[in-house]
Structure 1
Amino acid sequence: MQNIFSRLQRNLARLWLRAVIQRLNNTTACQQADISMIAGETKASMEYLEPYGFTSTAHAGAEGIALFLAGDRSHGIVINVADRRYRLKGLKEGEVAIYTDEGDSIVLKRGRLIEATTDTFIIHAKNKIVLDTQQVETPGKITAAQSIVSQAEVQDKTGSLSTMRAQYNGHTHKGDSGGMTGTPNQGMK
């Protein structure tokens, strides 16, 4: 009986095992992984199957699962590559994150909050970006290469454009003869 269990255990061990990534080739339609396994065994150019819509190229030393259908080591696949050296820690239950080894991350947090952390955030949108929100805040400046167009009032900490317009259009000056001049003959629109 012991012999049967030992053989069964060896056969199961041939189906899957922990793999350490030595190199990933991401230039092919399906990434290819060179891996090392237990007892110094290596395998080159194994297909690395990723979830649809998500791709990443892990560093050498990341870990994954190597699967060998029917225990046949001639053609296997690698799944679920992870790298404990860079994984974000301290997430709350239910939170989701993507991250890099450089510290960039996008975290979908509890309370319906999304937090992105990076040095430069670039959005490429061919036609338009729509911010459907009540308020946009920034502690820094906003720079535009073209005109800024507003469908509503524009204001700063001291007043609004419509207030400035009304003040300009209604202002007068003291004339040379001591009397007051009229309002500007061309008002601001």
Structure 2
Amino acid sequence: MSRQLLDRAARRILNLIGRARINLIDDTGPVQMAQVTVNDLETIDKVPVVQAFGFASSPPKGSDVALVFVGGDRSNGVVVATNSQKYRVRNLAPGESVIYTQDGKQIYLTAGGGIKIVANGQPVEIDNATTVTINASDSVVMNTPLLKVSGDIIDNYETNASTIKELRTAYDGHDHDVVEVQTGSSTITSSGPNSTV
């Protein structure tokens, strides 16, 4: 093999992997595309960003990227990993994972403290669910100054068919039978209410 062929092969091997910083992200197409700066002399446009199925992110400007160049060809690269030094969550314990955004929201899978969702002062919304079920072995605690429900509430639903609204209406409209009415200064204690439910 000639020295020229060896030099060409060596250059291609050296060019197989690189690192860069993100300038721009185009997230409108079927594959996310990035413009990256490799060094002061090299900026590459329209580099595909390969992401794991089921997870998508849009790395902020300045994020680090790992590049793989197919056959060592600098015009045929793909981003295989991204990292933001500024926003990366630090000090995770072994076995922990976190999904995070640059404005501080997190879904944090801790090593022993359960799952923590940090909304960072923003709303949390579940859309288009037919049923949301919470199976808690001990309790469900809601520390909130106000709980709003647009529909009806049924407690003890496995044995009770009446909504809280129906029970409240029945309570507000119930009456008591007073038996053996006495006159004068007697004190009367009524019996229990007549059920209307």
- Fold-level match, TM-score > 0.5? yes
Shift, 1:184, TM fit = 6.2
Shift, 1:117, TM fit = 0.1
Written as runs of structure 1 = structure 2, the 5 A alignment for 1:54-69 is 54-69=55-70
Map of 1:146 onto structure 2: 151
Give me the TM-score of the superposition, normalised by structure 2.
Answer: 0.76
Map of 1:76 onto structure 2: 77
| Structure 2 residue 52 is the aligned partner of structure 1 residue 51 | yes
Contact 1:16-1:67 at 8 Å conserved across structures: yes
Map of 2:135 onto structure 1: 132
Specify the SS of the correspondent of 1:110: coil
| Structure 2 residue 188 is the aligned partner of structure 1 residue 183 | no
Shift, 1:177, TM fit = 3.8
Between the aligned residues of both structures, percent identity stands at 22
Q: Counterparts of 1:175 and 1:116 in 2: how far apart (Å)?
A: 63
Instruction: List gaps (5 residues or longer) in structure 2.
Output: 160-166
Shift, 1:187, TM fit = 3.2
CA offsets per residue over residues 118-163 of structure 1, 9 Å max, x none? 032111143100001131002213211111111269xxxxxxx9xx
Specify the SS of the correspondent of 2:15: helix
CA offsets per residue over residues 80-124 of structure 1, 9 Å max, x none? 011111001111111000101101001100126100100321111
Contact 1:67-1:78 at 8 Å conserved across structures: yes
Instruction: List gaps (5 residues or longer) in structure 1.
Output: 154-160
Give me the TM-score of the superposition, normalised by structure 1.
Answer: 0.79
With over 3 angstroms needed to count, the CA separation of the structure-2 counterparts of 1:60 and 1:171, relative to structure 1, is farther
With over 3 angstroms needed to count, the CA separation of the structure-2 counterparts of 1:10 and 1:184, relative to structure 1, is same
Specify the SS of the correspondent of 2:48: strand
In structure 2, give the amino acid aligned to 1:146. Answer: G
Q: Counterparts of 2:81 and 2:110 in 1: how far apart (Å)?
A: 23
Contact 1:97-1:105 at 8 Å conserved across structures: yes
Contact 2:31-2:50 at 8 Å conserved across structures: yes
| 4+ long deviations beyond 2 Å | 6-13, 168-189
Contact 1:172-1:184 at 8 Å conserved across structures: no
Map of 2:109 onto structure 1: 108
Contact 1:169-1:188 at 8 Å conserved across structures: no
CA RMSD of aligned residues (A): 3.2
Shift, 1:169, TM fit = 7.6
| Structure 2 residue 123 is the aligned partner of structure 1 residue 120 | yes
Q: Counterparts of 1:185 and 1:79 in 2: how far apart (Å)?
A: 71
With over 3 angstroms needed to count, the CA separation of the structure-2 counterparts of 1:171 and 1:121, relative to structure 1, is farther
CA offsets per residue over residues 47-79 of structure 1, 9 Å max, x none? 111111100011110111111111112221111
